[in-house]
Amino acid sequence: MINKNVTPSPARPQRWKASGRTPRILLCGVFGPYGVDDPFGRKENNMELYHNQVTRVQGPASLRFHHRSFGLYFIASNINADVTVLDFPSRRRFIREIQKDYDVVGISFITPNYIKAREMARLVRANAPGSIIVLGGHGAAIEGVEDLIECDHVARGEGIRWMRNFLGQDSSAPIVHPILPCSEYESIFGVPIPGPTPNVLVPGLGCVNACNFCCTTHFFEKAYISFLRTGEDVFRECCRIADARGTNVFSVMDENFLKDCTRARALLAEMEKHQRWFSFYISSSAEAISAFGIDNLIRLGVNMVWIGFESQSADEFAKNAGINAAELVRELRDRGVSVLGSAIICMEHHTPENIGADIDFVVGLGTDMMQFMLYTGMPVTPLYTDHKERGLLKEDMPYEEWHGQNELNWNHPAFPGDEPKRWLDLAFRRDYEANSSSIYRMAETAVRGYKRLAAMESRDPCLEARMQQLALRVRLYSHLLPIIACRAVNEKERERALELDIEQLKLLGPLTVRDRITRLAAKALAARWDLRLRLFGDRIQPSTIVTHYHGGKPDKGL
C-alpha cells in the first residue's frame, strides 16, 4: 500500500499572475484502458458503474453506461480561466495534451486509480516541468498522498471553492450548473436506448447520515453542501437544462435527495404550477422516502430510487430503523418506481454461518437491481480509521485492489483469502437467478405502475402525465422482452418475460408497424452483441472527450 516517498520539489510560481493573463488549466480524469489487468489497474475496477457492481453477472442483459467525471465540468464552469477538460484519455493522448504547457494540471482520481494518478503526475513533471500539479477527487483523501505522488497541491473537499481560492477568485460567487449528459453510452443486449441520455443534475454534495463506510459523507465532513437551495432553484435549473438538451429526464447526483423534504415538495409544487413534468432517477435513504411519502414520489416523477439497505439488521444503520424494507420495495414497484438496493457483504458481524441469511434477505426484497459491495473502509471514513487503529488494515495491499469487488482491505477472521470474492459472486448470482435480469424487473415495474394508475377512476393532470410516461416506458421495455426470453438465465425468467409481453399487449394494444420494425432491429443488434462478446469480450472503452471553457463558458453546447 505504501510507496516510497517522492522528493519534495520547490514551489512552482503562478506564472499567469506575473504576466497578468488568464490562467490556462487542464482538468483530467485518469487514463485508460479501464477494467483491464495491466501495470496501472485491475480488471475488477471497471469504468462502468452498473456493469461493475450491480448487473455484472447478467451477461448480455447487463446495463451498460459510461458516466463522465462530472466534478471536472463543474469546476471548469465556475472559475475565470481558460480550461480544458480531458475525460477518458489514453496515456498517449494525455501526454500530447500536457505538452501544451498548461499553468495548472488537475488530476482527479479515486483510491483504486492511485497508480494511474502517480504516473500522470510523473508524466507532467517530465513533459511540462513548469505546470503546477493539483490532485483532487476521493483519491485525495489517501493519507499523506502529497508524499506519495509528486504534486504541488492537494484539493480536498468541495473542488469549486478550493479552485476559486487557489486562483484568488470569489469563492462565494453563485454556482453555475453545467449542462451535461448523465452518460455517453447506454445499451442493453447491445441495443442502444433511443433518444438523448438523461441530464445530470447536482443539487448538492455530501450527506448528513454519516454511515461509517461512506466516502461521500465523510469527504464533505458529514455536512450537506447545497448548490440548489430551494425547490424553485431546482425547477429553474431543470427547465434551463431540459430546454438545452431536449429531454425532461434527469439523473440526480445527490447522495440523499429527499432528505431535504421542503425542497423536494417545493419542486413538486413548481412542476404542478407550471404543468411541466420532469422525471428523475434519484438516491435516497429509506427514512427520507418515508418522510416524503411514496405517493409523492409518483407525482414528483421518480423513475428509479437507489436505497442503501446494507443489511437485514436495521440496528446497524439508523437510516433504516423502523422501516419494513420488503414492504417499501413492493409499494414503490407497485407504483412504477424501480428500486436499486445496496447491500454489504462481509461485515464484521458476518460469519459463514449467518452471511447467507443476509444475502437471502436482500435477494428476497425483490428490487429491480441490487448492488453488492464488500465492507471496505476507504481513507477518510471512520471504518478505515477503526480498522487501522485495531491493526486490521492490510497495510501491504496495493491501492488498486481497494474497490470492494474482489478482496477485503482488512483482515476478517471469518473470511480469509478469496472467501469474500466467493460470497460476493454467490450473492450476485443468487439475486439474478431468483429475480431474473434487472431489465426484466424494470419492465415489470413499469407495467405494475401503469396498471395502478390506469385503474384509477379519476386522475389529475399530474397523474395523467405520469401514466402516459409509464405507458411509454412499458412499450419501450417491451421490445426487449422477446430477447430476454431467448437469453433467460433460467426457465422461470423465460416464462416471466413471455407472460409480461402478453400482459403489456393487453394493456396498451397491439404493436404498430413501427413497433414491429423496432423489435426486429433490436433482435438483430442483440445477435450482433452476442457475437461481439464471443469474439472480443465485454469490455467497452469510452471515447476520449475534450471540452474547452473560456472564463467558465464552454466553447459550444454539450
Asked whether residue 4 is domain-assigned, the answer is no
Amino acid, res. 496: R
pLDDT surpasses 60 at 243: yes
pLDDT band at 316 (very low <50, low <70, confident <90, very high): low
Query: What's residue 306's pLDDT?
Result: 96
| 65 membership: H or E segment, kind and range | strand 64-67
**Residues 431 and 466 reside in one and the same domain:** no
Q: Can you tell me the mean pLDDT for 381-394?
A: 94
Query: Is the pLDDT higher at 1 or at 55?
Result: 55
CA angle 245, 248, 250 (to 5 degrees): 90
The domain boundary, picked from 436, 464, 492, lies at 436
* Same domain flag for 44 and 116: yes
| In-domain check, residue 186 | no
426 and 523 in a single domain? The answer is no
Q: Tell me the pLDDT band of 10, cut-offs 50, 70 and 90.
A: low
Predicted pLDDT at 3: 44
315 band by pLDDT with thresholds 50, 70 and 90: low
Residues 484 and 420 placed together within one structural domain of the fold: no
| Same structural domain, 68 and 146 | yes
Distance CA 484, CA 478 (A): 10
558: pLDDT strictly greater than 50: no
480 is a domain residue: yes
**Pairwise CA distance, residues 454 & 461, whole Å:** 13
Assign 394 to helix, strand or coil: coil
CA 555 to chain centre: 27
Angle at 298 between CA 293 and CA 302, to 5 degrees: 100
Asked if the structure places residue 1 within a domain, the reply is no
CATH no. for residue 159? 3.40.50.2300
Q: At residue 557, does pLDDT exceed 70?
A: no
CA dihedral for 148, 149, 154, 159, sign (positive or negative): negative
Q: Read out DSSP for 414-439?
A: TS-TTHHHHHHHHHHHHHHHHH--HH
Hey, CA dihedral for 342, 346, 349, 353, is it positive or negative? positive
528 and 546, same domain (yes or no): no
Domain that holds residue 361: 196-436
Whether the pLDDT of residue 11 is over 90: the answer is: no
Report pLDDT digits (tens) over 337-379.
Answer: 999 999 999 999 999 999 999 999 999 999 999 999 999 999 9
Cis before residue 416, ω within 30 degrees of 0? no
Decide if 29 contacts 72 (C-beta within 8 A): yes
244 shares its domain with 393? yes
Q: Which residues contact 106 (CB under 8 A, 6 or more apart)?
A: 25, 26, 27, 28, 72, 75, 134, 135, 136, 155, 163
CATH of the domain at 276: 3.80.30.20
pLDDT greater at residue 242 or residue 3: 242
Last residue of a domain, one of 436, 459, 488: 436
Mean pLDDT value across residues 426-452: 98
pLDDT of residue 47: 84
My answer on whether 247 and 362 are in the same domain is yes
Nearest to 399 by CA among 121, 115, 120, 156: 115
Per the domain annotation, does 89 fall within a domain? yes
314 pLDDT band (50/70/90 cuts)?
Answer: low
Residue 315 sits in the same domain as residue 458: no
What average pLDDT does this structure show over 412-421? Answer: 95
- Give the pLDDT of residue 236: 98
pLDDT confidence of residue 211: 86
- Distance in angstroms (rounded) separating the CA atoms of residues 226 and 209: 15
Predicted confidence band of residue 5 (pLDDT cuts 50, 70, 90): very low
pLDDT digits (tens, 9 = 90+) for 272-308: 999 999 999 999 999 999 999 999 999 999 999 999 9
Residue 14 lies in a domain: no
Q: Which residue has the cell 495534451?
A: 97
* Grid coordinates of 81: 480561466
Chain segment 528-551, per-residue pLDDT in tens: 999 999 999 888 999 999 999 998
Question: For cell 430551494, what's the residue?
Answer: 230
* Same-domain pairing of 214 and 350: yes
Considering the chain, what percentage of its residues have pLDDT values greater than 70? 97
Tell me which of 401, 436, 471 is where a domain ends: 436
State what percent of residues in the chain have pLDDT above 90. 81
Mean pLDDT of 141-170: 94
Q: Compare 14 and 470 and report the one with higher pLDDT.
A: 470
Nearest to 280 by CA among 323, 237, 320: 237
Work out the mean pLDDT of the chain and round it to a whole number.
93
Total count of residues recorded for the chain: 558
Residue 12 lies inside a defined structural domain of this protein: no
Burial tier of 225 (Cβ tally within 10 Å: 0-12, 13-18, 19+)? middle
379: in domain: yes
Confidence at residue 9, expressed as pLDDT on a 0 to 100 scale? 54
318 band by pLDDT with thresholds 50, 70 and 90: confident
202 and 335, same domain (yes or no)? yes
Q: What is the pLDDT of residue 553?
A: 80
Split into its structural domains, the chain has a count of 3
pLDDT tens for 203-224 read: 999 888 888 888 888 888 888 9
Please give the biggest Cα pair distance in the chain. 74
Alpha helices in 335-460 (DSSP H): 355-364, 382-389, 419-435, 438-454
The one-character DSSP state at 351 is: -
In a shared domain, residues 504 and 378: no
User: Phi and psi (nearest 5°) for 519?
Assistant: -65, -40
